[in-house]
Amino acid sequence: MIKILVVDDERMIRLGIKAMLERKFAECDIQVASDGIEALDICKANEVDIVITDIKMPRMDGIQLIEHLQDMESKPLIIILSGYDDFTYTKQAIKFQVMDYLLKPVVRNELFNVITSAKDKLDERTALQNEKHEYLTNQLNYMLLNPTINEERVEEIVQNLQLHPYSDGFYAGIFHFKGKKRTLVKNELFHLIRKQIRHVDDHSLCFIDMNGNLVVFTENIEGIYLAAKDDSEAASHLCVAISQKESLMGKLKEAYKQANEALAYTFLFPNQLIFTYEQVKAKKESSIRKEEQVLQRIFNMLGTDRQNEIRSSILELFNIEALKNYTIAYMEALSKAINRILFDQVFNQIGIESIEILKLYDKVGDMSNFDNIYDYFHAVEELTMHLHKYLKDMKTVYTGDNVMEKAIAFIHQNAHKDLNMAVVSNHISLNYTYFSHLFKEYTGENFVDYIKKVRIQKAKDLLTNRDNKIFEVSEAVGFSNSKQFSRVFRDIEGISPKEYREKLYM
């Protein structure tokens, strides 16, 4: 929305112009001021796009107002209201690049034409500013994320982009908005933060990085703290991470890295507002050997009657107050171990039977899917207990002899056919991977070896009849050719089918 400010010490004139503009340009926000001081206060408090000002006013006249507006970061377009006898003052205003002037009394169509031209100029200026800002943002993101760019190259890029040199040193701040579905609120809040920081340091550099966070480089750290302590409802979703002070422009990447490292600790401290690199770099390093043993113990207990022990072991892993003393790298290593030792082992054993479990696993498998450690802990616990119940139910239904006896009987009845484990597991309505595990546990052998033995035993029975030719026996027990039959027979019995038959009739 374009904001227009009408400044005139004569009440009827300023209100008359306001009324004309509101009827013609209903989409614009029209405000009024009675002199230069009131107008300047309005411009400082709110970004104004167009100022229509009288020349002769008490306290602060139009020329003085225009001079002060030149110091603002975002200068409004100026339109002067002038009487015939004010032309000498109008000439003074020309050096400030005043856009246009209107003679009093104001002619409606002239006013409308000037405002329309001003709106066009604002559109052009906005497009140009957006283009420049987009280019600057792209260059900065490329520089910060490219691992091949060293400090010397950073210095060159800074000079080419004509960035402020920060001769007294600088800080990097990263503002992170924790609400994922409130893009409009996030953008408005980031816009407000830019204004607050630039009010303290007009040389500050603000842009959005590839993670959607607002990055700030500034000489004055107070601006970051001021913006972070906004007490609005939207700001309650905000946190900020701050680097240590760096003195050389070549350290821009280092400062950005430090701020990102500090920002990662929002995962462990979701209610904390400000994170500094000075605080987090003192965190402890540690190995996770003990935690790996706990995870293996949890895996071993899944599907048993030790549900309470499983829960207490998970709580032992997620001693959150203790975890807060360690580096975020320790937490990331623990998360990988949870996937590797607990979840992956289970799914390698039983497969993914449930879509519900699969969806949960897709989320829990990546710690970054969670805003904080508390949500992650509950998700890990939920998936673990899901798997525990699933395994327990599977054992209750399938570990009895009935189902395996049914599978064995089916194998013996159909060994002569093109039989494989998928066919058998489907016949008894059992998960393929779980059936493989259960079959070996029940028979002591893998499926392929067991089938071979069943077929050879049937072949031995058929070889007792001299009328059965060896190639006929081979086909009858399910071998594709007699050579394969002879090889398998020799592997199991130590002699060929022919030698076995001759031995029977010696």
- Residue pLDDT, tens place only, 447-466: 999 999 999 999 998 988 88
Whole-number average pLDDT of the chain:
88
What is the arithmetic mean of pLDDT over 405-430?
87
Q: How would residue 239 be classed by pLDDT, with cut points 50, 70 and 90?
A: very high
Helix (H, G, I), strand (E, B) or coil at 30: strand
User: Which residue has tokens 């790996």?
Assistant: 292
Q: Tokens for 35, please give them.
A: 């002199």
Its pTM stands at 0.66
Cβ atoms within 10 Å of 356's Cβ, excluding its own: 9
Q: What is the pLDDT of residue 260?
A: 96
Among 357-366, 385-394, 456-465, which range has the highest average pLDDT? Answer: 456-465
Q: How would residue 412 be classed by pLDDT, with cut points 50, 70 and 90?
A: very high
* Distance, CA of 317 to CA of 311 (rounded, Å): 10
In the chain, the amino acid numbered 366 is D
* Distance, CA of 163 to CA of 320 (rounded, Å): 43
Q: What is the pLDDT of residue 81?
A: 87
Q: Which of 327 and 183 is assigned the larger pLDDT?
A: 327
Q: What is the pLDDT of residue 159?
A: 92
Among 44-48, 357-361, 425-429, which range has the highest average pLDDT? Answer: 44-48
Q: Which of 106 and 400 is assigned the larger pLDDT?
A: 106
Q: What is the pLDDT of residue 178?
A: 80
In the chain, the amino acid numbered 352 is I
